[in-house]
Amino acid sequence: MAATSADPTRAFVSAAGLAVGYEGKVVLDGLDFQITPGIKVGLLGPNGGGKTTLFRALLGQIKPLAGTLNVDATCATVPQSDRSRLDYPVTCLDVATMGALARLPWWKRPGRKDRSQAAAALETVGLAERTRDNFGDLSGGQRQRVLIARALTADAELLLLDEPYTGLDSTSAARLDRLIDDLAESDRTVIIATHDVDQARAWDRVLCLNGSQIAFGRPEDALNREVLEATYGGHIVEIPGQPGQGLLPAHHCDHEHEPGHEQRQIAGDR
């Protein structure tokens, strides 16, 4: 995986007093944080808390309504794979090659070099054997990795992953964990929107949102009862026998009774 040259003083994202929203209406405000290269950031918050709005602001799709936002990195989004059209006539290589469009002028089509780069990106995400397969024939985890390959083809330094673990089995989730680790080790920063508080504890930073910034920092400092209550509206439960690790929003505990969740926990405990 190609590594970027890490500059410890460089910030990929700097937000100061930032407020963003739509048509003049503020959806998310009070944002003050700095995100440096080569880290994994968990973006936590309830549905409607502002995670997608922040992604749109980082991508430049919406402008700040107040404050400042500096994004000093090539940015790419990795949407949930189940939002893609599975009946669409594209191969994995076609999808990965789409990333090249981000750096090409409008009149230029991706060439052989771009397709080679896309093939290399598919190899990086462990899908070298599937380049000619239809995107819709892949499993959810594989589709997620193809979309990450598309971001790599775009030479993205900052990857925005929108709930990438949704619907993945434990094996696919573990593979995605390793890929995200590899991305961070190559000095890319990965921001992962998730509802899984437990999982976010393993990452370098967490940003908690609920209409405004609730907390930003290291998970061990930020993910306390007050922050989780403010982020998830006060529905927090404490799991006995897990001091410091057992604070979870109630929805998270509900999921523990769903089929497959136990497997996910085991994968997360590796």
Partner 1 sequence: MIDWITEPLSHGTTLRALVEISVLGVVSGAIGCWIVLYELSYSAESLAHGLFPGLVVAALIGAPLLLGGAIGVLIAAILIVLATRLADESADTAIAVVITTLFGVGVLLALSPSSPPGIQELLFGDLLGASTGDILVAAGAGAAVLAVLWLLHDRLLAIGFDSDSGQALGISVSTLNVILLALVSLTILVSVQGLGNLLVAAILVGPAAAARLVTRRIRPMMMIAATIAIVAGAAGIYASYYLSTAAGASVVIALVACYMLAAATSVLQGRFGARQGAS
Give the number of other Cβ atoms within 10 Å of residue 10's Cβ. 14
Nearer CB in complex with partner 1: 162/198 = 162
**Tokens representing 37?**
């290269």
For partner 1, the binding residues (CB under 8 A) are: 59, 61, 75-77, 79, 83-85, 88-91, 94-95, 97-99, 101-102, 106-107, 109-110, 134-136, 147, 150, 154
Q: How far is the CB of 88 from partner 1 (least distance, A)?
A: 5
Nearer CB in complex with partner 1: 91/212 = 91
Nearer CB in complex with partner 1: 91/265 = 91
Nearer CB in complex with partner 1: 159/227 = 159
Q: In 3D, which of 70, 63, 53 has the Cα closest to residue 16?
A: 70
Q: Is 110 within 8 Å of 101 (Cβ atoms)?
A: yes
Q: How far is the CB of 95 from partner 1 (least distance, A)?
A: 7
Q: How far is the CB of 137 from partner 1 (least distance, A)?
A: 9
Q: How far is the CB of 27 from partner 1 (least distance, A)?
A: 17
Q: What is the DSSP letter of 7?
A: -
Alpha helices in 68-169 (DSSP H): 92-97, 112-124, 140-153
Nearer CB in complex with partner 1: 127/208 = 127
Q: Give how far the C-alpha of residue 95 lies from the chain's centroid of Cα atoms, to the nearest Å.
A: 18
Alpha carbons within 13 angstroms on the beta-carbon side of residue 67 total: 18
Q: In 3D, which of 201, 191, 125, 200 has the Cα closest to residue 161?
A: 191
Q: How far is the CB of 59 from partner 1 (least distance, A)?
A: 5
**Tokens representing 7?**
């500059």
